[in-house]
Amino acid sequence: MAKKLRGDHEKVLARAAKARAKERYVLRLYVAGITPKSDRAIRSVKEICEQSLKDRYDLEIVDIYQHPGTLKEDQIIVAPTLIKKLPFPLRRLIGDMADREKILLGLDLRPKCG
C-alpha cells in the first residue's frame, strides 16, 4: 500500500512540474526614468526572463515619470520594483535587480533552501 501511495505521489509531482513548466508569467517592472540604475534593472530582468522563462513571459516596463497614474494601481513607492502578477501568488521585488538569485527565488523559479 505504501509503495502504491509513493508511486501516486510521484505521478502527481511529475504532473505538477510539467504544468508549471508551461505556466505563463506576467511581469511588470517599474523604473524611474532613463538612468543607469533603470537600465541595469531592465537588462537584468530581461536576461533572467530569457534564460529561465524563454517564450513563457510577458514583461511590461513602466517608467513612473511617464506614467505616474500607474503608481497608485500597483501601490508603488520605490523604483525599481518588479511585480509578478501571474502565476499566483502575486509577488513584489523591490530594489536592485542585479541579484539574480533573489529574483529567481522571488519569481518562484528556484527551490527554497533551508
pLDDT at 109: 85
| Domain that includes residue 57, residue range | 24-106
Q: Within a domain: residue 88?
A: yes
CATH number for position 58: 3.40.30.10
| DSSP secondary structure, 35-69, as one string | -HHHHHHHHHHHHHHHHHSTTSEEEEEEETTT-TH
What pLDDT is stored for residue 65 in this prediction? 95
* Dist CA 14 CA 47 (whole Å): 28
Q: Is the pLDDT of residue 114 over 60?
A: no
> Band of the pLDDT at 8, cuts 50, 70, 90?
confident
- Among left, alpha and beta (phi > 0; psi -120 to 50; other), residue 31 is beta
* Residue carrying C-alpha cell 523604473: 31
**Residue in this structure with the C-alpha cell 500607474, named with its chain if needed:** 70
DSSP string computed for 65-113: TT-THHHHHHT--SSSEEEEEESSSPEEEES-TT-HHHHHHHTT-S---
pLDDT of residue 22: 77
Predicted local distance difference test score (pLDDT) of residue 16: 54
C-alpha cell at 27: 511581469
- pLDDT 10s digits, 75-113: 999 999 999 999 999 999 999 899 999 999 999 887 555
Tally of domains within the chain: 1
Instruction: Report pLDDT digits (tens) over 18-39.
Output: 656 679 999 999 999 999 999 9
Flag whether pLDDT at 43 surpasses 80: yes
